Amino acid sequence: MLSIGELSRRTRVKVPTIRYYETVGLLTAPERTGGNQRRYDQAGLERLSFIRHARELGFSIEAISSLIELQDHPDRSCQAATEIAAAQLSDVRAKIKRLHALEKELLRIADGCDGDGVSEDCYVLASLADHDLCQREH
């Protein structure tokens, strides 16, 4: 059995985050000692590792909850899990597209200023002050 501190160290998830995951139902409430300290078993460690990995991949709490529900019912089709992963991939691709547009606009703004002028003539500052100077939506 693991204390919450040991569980935190092993999974690299902060203690307040572990408590939050319990509150929102991603982690089941662990057993408690006579002194009311949380004690986690191997299943709790594995579940928290699953959650941490899913969060690193950008899955929302709601998506993780759905994935856990599927994981808890191994007799169900994995089609729903595939759909959740595909939706996450679509979101990541959309973010990448927005980031590429942002990169191009920032490059254009940075290249528009040679850095030799004074602040009142700075193209970077002027571009930030006037969105109409931007060439791309971002």
Residue 40 φ then ψ, to 5°? -105, 145
Mean pLDDT of 18-46: 92
DSSP H helix total and E strand total for the chain: 6, 2
Architecture of domain 4-76: Orthogonal Bundle (1.10)
pTM above 0.85, yes or no: no
Asked if residue 64 lies in contact with residue 84, where contact means CB atoms within 8 angstroms, the answer is no
* Structure-block tokens of residue 39: 């004690």
Quick: pLDDT tens for 90-135. 999 999 999 999 999 898 888 887 767 666 678 888 888 887 777 7
Name which of 123, 98, 93, 97 is nearest 110 in CA terms: 123
The residue ranges of every structural domain in the chain are 4-76, 93-133
C-alpha angle with apex 33: 35 to 49, nearest 5 degrees? 125
